[in-house]
Amino acid sequence: MTLKKICCIGAGYVGGPSCAVIASKCPAIQVTVVDLSEERIKQWNSDHLPLYEPGLDDVVKSCRGRNLTFSTDIDTAIQEADLIFICVNTPTKNFGIGKGRAADLKYIEAAARRIADVSKSSKIVVEKSTVPVKAAQSISNILQANVKPGVKYQVLSNPEFLAEGTAVNDVLDPDRVLIGGEKNSLGKEAIEALCWIYEHWIPREKIIVMNTWSSELSKLAANAFLAQRISSINAISAICEATGADVSEVANAIGTDSRIGSKFLKASVGFGGSCFQKDVLNLVYLCECLNLPEAAAYWQQVVDINDYQRQRFANRVVESLFNTVTDKNITILGFAFKKDTGDTRESAAIYLSKYLMDEEARLRIYDPKVEKSQILRELTHPCISEDPSRVSKLVTIHQDPYEAAEGSHALIVCTEWDEFKTLDYHKIYQKMLKPAFIFDGRIILDHEALIEIGFHVETIGKRLSRKPVHRSIAPSTQ
Ligand X SMILES: NC(=O)C1=CN([C@@H]2O[C@H](COP(=O)(O)OP(=O)(O)OC[C@H]3O[C@@H](n4cnc5c(N)ncnc54)[C@H](O)[C@@H]3O)[C@@H](O)[C@H]2O)C=CC1
Question: Which of these ranges, 159-167, 228-236, 330-338, 413-421, lies near ligand X under the rule CB under 6 A?
Answer: 159-167
Under the binding rule (CB under 6 A), the answer on residue 444 touching ligand X is no
Under the binding rule (CB under 6 A), the answer on residue 274 touching ligand X is yes
- The phi and psi torsions of 222 (rounded to 5 degrees) equal -60, -50
Find the shortest distance in angstroms from Cβ 375 to ligand X: 18
Q: Which of 30, 32, 119, 130 binds ligand X (CB under 6 A)?
A: 130
Packing angle of the helix pair 106-118, 135-145 (nearest 10 deg): 30
DSSP string covering 190-238, please? HHHHHHHHHTTTS-GGGEEEE-HHHHHHHHHHHHHHHHHHHHHHHHHHH
d(CA 373, CA 41): 20
Under the binding rule (CB under 6 A), the answer on residue 84 touching ligand X is no
Under the binding rule (CB under 6 A), the answer on residue 6 touching ligand X is no
Neighbouring C-beta atoms of residue 453, cutoff 10 Å: 15
- Give yes or no: 275 in active site: yes
Give residues 59-118 in contact with ligand UGA (rule: CB under 6 A): none
Does 35 count as an annotated binding residue?
Answer: yes
The smaller minimum CB distance to ligand X, of residues 15 and 181, is found at 15
Under the binding rule (CB under 6 A), the answer on residue 271 touching ligand X is no
Question: Which of these ranges, 85-93, 193-201, 373-381, 458-466, lies near ligand X under the rule CB under 6 A?
Answer: 85-93
| Residue 308 DSSP symbol | H
Q: Which does 337 bind (CB under 5 to 8 A by kind): ligand X, ligand UGA, none?
A: ligand UGA
d(CA 167, CA 180): 22
Under the binding rule (CB under 6 A), the answer on residue 12 touching ligand X is yes
Question: Which of these ranges, 104-112, 193-201, 296-304, 374-382, lies near ligand X under the rule CB under 6 A?
Answer: 104-112
Q: Which does 408 bind (CB under 5 to 8 A by kind): ligand X, ligand UGA, none?
A: none
Answer whether 240's CB lies under 8 Å from 182's CB: no
Give residues 331-360 in contact with ligand UGA (rule: CB under 6 A): 337-338
Q: Which residues contact 475 (CB under 8 A, 6 or more apart)?
A: 323
- Given the residues 275, 287, 383, 414, select the one marked as catalytic: 275
d(CA 80, CA 120): 9
Q: Which residues contact 478 (CB under 8 A, 6 or more apart)?
A: 312, 315, 316, 319
Question: Which of these ranges, 160-168, 240-248, 283-291, 353-361, lies near ligand UGA under the rule CB under 6 A?
Answer: 160-168
d(CA 30, CA 80): 10
| Residue 92 DSSP symbol | B
Q: Where are the alpha helices (DSSP H) in 128-211?
A: 135-145, 167-172, 185-198
Q: Residues with catalytic annotation? A: 275
Binding-site ranges for ligand X (CB under 6 A) = 9-15, 34-37, 40, 74, 87-90, 107, 110-111, 129-130, 160, 162, 164, 274-275
Residues annotated in a binding site for substrate: 160-164, 219-223, 259, 266-272, 337-338, 442
